[in-house]
Chain A
Amino acid sequence: MTFINYASREINCKIVYYGPGLGGKTTNLQYIYNKTAPEAKGKMISLATEADRTLFFDFLPLDLGSIRGFTTRFHLYTVPGQVFYDASRKLILKGVDGVVFVADSQPERMEANIESIRNLEDNLKEHGFDLQTVPYALQFNKRDVPDVVPVTEMYRTLNYKREPTFEAVATTGIGVFDTLKAVAKLILIELRKR
């Protein structure tokens, strides 16, 4: 749910990073945090277990600059990817403006990718959203790992509606900002339609 504040001239939007466990959602946010100028970002919060697995969410507020005199602020969230945290995943999708799906390129994780997209579709529906219409970008992460699934095959299996799709290595930053920009653009285009 976009929040337009005429008093402070701000637009606030919420982007959620979704995907299977250990796919690199938190790593995407960490890279963005590390590469963003201090004045353009807030504190990154990670509600994680002692073993650094996301327990509830990661949160990163970003200022992208101004558009038509309004400061555009994006709130980036990740969900916990592990299957049994579904109740928490649902909560985080509340009021979402755009979704990035971080898929794991390793062959043994393809089933988990498929299951997670289905789960995303179901959980969005519970909030009254439809993945067909929600601003959405797809990222094939971990392209640096040996013997990954070919991009064409991943695209055939995971692409939902011809959404913008990016190859990425979140640990080194490849594709990270391209994915974020793509979903942010789609959100602003959606805002224009209203």
Chain B
Amino acid sequence: MPSVELVLYQEEFQRLDQALKKLRQEANARAIFLIDKTGQQIAAAGELDQFDTTSLASLTAGNVAATDGLAKLIGEREFSVLFHEGKRDHIHISIVAKRAILLVIFDDRSSLGLVRLRVKRSTQDLDHIFEDMQQKGERGVATGPAHSSPFSEITDEDIDALFSE
């Protein structure tokens, strides 16, 4: 079977949240998103109410997936950084810990050079957090039902109730 689900606990969520807030401040960005490669938003910071965050996550993942496909077609392992330049706002996309996407939206109050520099530094912190998440997830599986997800106790009634509304 492929990789198990991604589990995000409160502690790691707070660490990610802090890391994104720090990056946002240092890069002078409008907003930062951390997105799973399948298109689910993991964490975000900045002017979130300005964006349709769910659509942003899904389209970013599609964009990265298509670019990965292009890389493989020409014999590259991946294109690790993507940059989209707009008239006012720009998007910088990079890969974190092989499984997540870091999306930075910035305008002319920042610059591509500054964003690249700060993203590079921040990526190391994020890599560590993802390593811890993975280890915690694996420990959770190894230690069995006592630490397994609350969903092991989902009843048929719970599931039916979801669809009765």
Interface, chain A (partner B; CB < 8 A)? 1-8, 11-12, 14, 42-43, 45, 47, 56-57, 59, 61, 64-65, 67-70, 72, 75, 87-88, 90-92, 94-95, 127-130, 133, 181, 184-185, 188-189, 191-194
Chain B neighbourhood of A129, CB < 8 A:
1-2
In the complex, A192 Cα to B148 Cα: how many Å? 10
Q: Does B76 contact A (CB under 8 A)?
A: no
Interchain residue pairs with CB less than 8 A apart (6): A1-B3, A3-B7, A6-B9, A61-B58, A91-B65, A127-B2
B interface residues (Cβ-Cβ under 8 A, vs A): 1-10, 13-14, 36-40, 42, 52, 54-55, 58-59, 62, 65-66, 68-69, 148-154, 158-159, 161-163, 165
Beyond the given A3-B42, A65-B165, A129-B2, please list 20 additional residue pairs across the A-B interface where CB-CB is below 8 A: A1-B2, A2-B6, A3-B7, A3-B40, A4-B6, A4-B149, A42-B54, A42-B55, A59-B39, A65-B161, A68-B150, A68-B151, A68-B154, A69-B150, A70-B150, A90-B69, A94-B65, A95-B38, A189-B159, A194-B148
The list of the 6 closest CB pairs from A to B, nearest first, reads: A95-B38, A7-B13, A2-B5, A128-B2, A91-B65, A42-B54
Q: Are the CB atoms of A64 and B162 closer together than 8 Å?
A: yes
Of B8, B42, B58, the residue contacting A75 (CB under 8 A) is B58
- Alpha-carbon distance between A193 and B1 when the two chains are bound, in angstroms: 14
A194 contacts B13, C-beta separation under 8 Å: no
Residues of B within 8 A of A11 (CB): 151
